[in-house]
Amino acid sequence: MHSVSVQNLSLKFGAAEVLKNLNLDVEEGEFIVLLGPSGCGKSTLLNCLAGLLELSEGQIHIKGKNVTWAEPSERGIGMVFQSYALYPQMTVRGNLSFGLKIAKLPKEEIEKRVQRASEILQIGPLLDRKPGALSGGQRQRVAIGRALVRDVDVFLFDEPLSNLDAKLRSELRVELKRLHNRLKNTMIYVTHDQIEALTLADRIAIMRGGIIQQLDAPQTIYNRPSNLFVAGFIGSPAMNFIKGTTVGGGKAFKFGDVTLNLVGYEGGAIMDRPKAIIGLRPEHLAIVDEAVPGLTIPAVVEIDEPMGADSLVWLEAEGKQISVRVPVEHRPVAGTKVHLKVDIAKSSLFDETSELRI
């Protein structure tokens, strides 16, 4: 039994189809991150799961129960919002217990749950304050607490950390991970932030235009993106794309005067394709002095951007800009002629027409 199961979900706002025939199965206790560009329908999907939007088509099951038409409070979900959405006129305690009072839980039970949540989130000393007297990080903790006290199976997070500053964000990120390890609830988490996605997720769903492009473990998404969009979206600095052709029955990739040996490529049947694209991550390229036939690309160093420990070096090869990530102490001087060593096992090939990974 899946914890959350979405079947053929479609949603229209007027004429605009925001979610298109979407399917998603989430396992018990899984941490799923929905990642995608602005406006791709992440929040909309989350709101559908929460029952805050009516589907145009499709079904939603949570814990095996068909909740497609159930009220938000009957679905066994808790939700945390980007803007915290705390009730300003109530104290923290009031915020945490509001839903429980509506559900008419006995007083002792409410008190017990509030205590437990405030212990887990370390907000005990704040219980009698109003949200206005809390910092952003504290507010978000309370918002998480409000989902926690509901004692639900599934947590929905809509960019919960994006209103916080960078330091707080990374602190709360770790805390969320700890929370998940402790509670083992199913979590569905929307974010813009790749780091959050890569660090938190058991599986990442990359969305674009209301469609899930790829749903896989972070490492798979990173190493073996299923199409050009995913490849370009994940990874920062972004993957280098070079257009060319595959020749020799799929044994080599050719662009300009350069030929790269494709033996050792991990993927499907390459074949001879007149239009192909090779994707090389900046961190999977190395700058070497000596050319090795079939393994290196000759290039000229243009500029570099130091980023702390690493430096992003921009080179020109065959009229194309290629970026390479090197340790800061190894950055080459501008104008130098070098060679870029390609790790074929870690590269990705795409068919230019279908944009799919080969």
Partner 1 sequence: MTNAASFATTPSGAKPKPFITWERFVVYAVLIVCALFFLLPLYIMIMTSFKSMAEVQSGNIFVPTLHPTFDAWSKAWDSACTGLYCEGIKVGFWNSVKITVPSTIVSIAVASVTGYSLANWPFKFSEVFFTILLLGSFIPYVVMIYPLVIITRELGIFSTLWAVILVHTIFGLPIQTLLFRNYFASLPQELFKAARVDGAGYWGIFFRIFVPMSVPIFTVSVILQVTGIWNDFLFGVIYAGPTNYPMTVQLNNIVNSSMGGKAYNVDMAATILTGIVPLTIYFVSGKYFVRGIAAGAVKG
Q: Does 250 bind ligand ATP (CB under 6 A)?
A: no
Q: Does 18 bind ligand ATP (CB under 6 A)?
A: yes
Q: How far is the CB of 202 from partner 1 (least distance, A)?
A: 24
Which of 39, 64, 72, 125 is in the footprint of ligand ATP by CB under 6 A? 39
Q: Does 12 bind partner 1 (CB under 8 A)?
A: no
Q: How many angstroms separate the CA atoms of 187 and 204, rounded?
A: 12
Q: How many angstroms separate the CA atoms of 268 and 248, rounded?
A: 16
| Residues facing 155 on adjacent strands | 78, 187
Which of 12, 116, 129, 130 is in the footprint of partner 1 by CB under 8 A? 130
Q: Does 235 bind ligand ATP (CB under 6 A)?
A: no
Residue 250 CB-density burial (10 A; 0-12 exposed, 13-18 middle, 19+ buried):
buried
Q: How far is the CB of 208 from ligand ATP (least distance, A)?
A: 10
Residue 119 CB partners (closer than 8 Å, separation 6+): none
Tokens 């870690």, located at residue: 346
What is the size of the binding site for ligand ATP (CB under 6 A)?
Answer: 11
In Å, how far are 45, 127, 159, 222 from 119, measured between CA atoms? 31, 11, 24, 36
- Contacted by 18, from ligand ATP, partner 1, Mg ion, none: CB < 5 to 8 Å by type: ligand ATP
Nearer to partner 1, 102 or 309 (CB): 102
Q: How far is the CB of 199 from ligand ATP (least distance, A)?
A: 19
Amino acid identity at 121: L
**Mask of contacts with partner 1, 34-73, x by CB under 8 A?**
-------------x--xxx------------------xxx
For the chain, how many helices (H) and strands (E)?
8, 20
| Strand-strand pairing, 240-247 and 211-216 | unpaired
Contact between 270 and 250 under an 8 Å Cβ cutoff? The reply is yes
Q: How far is the CB of 82 from Mg ion (least distance, A)?
A: 7
For the chain, the farthest-separated pair of C-alpha atoms sits apart, in whole angstroms, at: 77
Which of 93, 113, 146, 325 is in the footprint of partner 1 by CB under 8 A? 146
Nearer to Mg ion, 43 or 214 (CB): 43
Which of 4, 26, 33, 40 is in the footprint of ligand ATP by CB under 6 A? 40
Q: How far is the CB of 210 from partner 1 (least distance, A)?
A: 20
Q: How far is CA 147 from the centre of its chain?
A: 22
Q: How many angstroms separate the CA atoms of 226 and 353, rounded?
A: 14
Q: How many angstroms separate the CA atoms of 139 and 131, rounded?
A: 6
Nearer to Mg ion, 35 or 55 (CB): 35
Q: Could you give the strand order of the β-sheet that contains 252-255, starting from the edge strand earlier in sequence? A: 258-261, 252-255, 240-247, 276-280, 348-351
At residue 253's C-alpha, the angle toward residues 250 and 258, to 5°, is 150
- Contacted by 40, from ligand ATP, Mg ion, partner 1, none: CB < 5 to 8 Å by type: ligand ATP
Nearest to 319 by CA among 304, 332, 302, 343: 302
Nearer to ligand ATP, 83 or 89 (CB): 83
Q: How far is the CB of 216 from ligand ATP (least distance, A)?
A: 19
Which of 60, 86, 207, 299 is in the footprint of partner 1 by CB under 8 A? 86
* Window of 85-93, 187-195, 316-324, 338-346 that interacts with partner 1 by CB under 8 A: 85-93
Nearer to Mg ion, 42 or 339 (CB): 42
The contact set with partner 1 (CB under 8 A) reads: 47, 50-52, 71-73, 77-79, 81-89, 98-99, 102-103, 130-132, 139, 146, 150
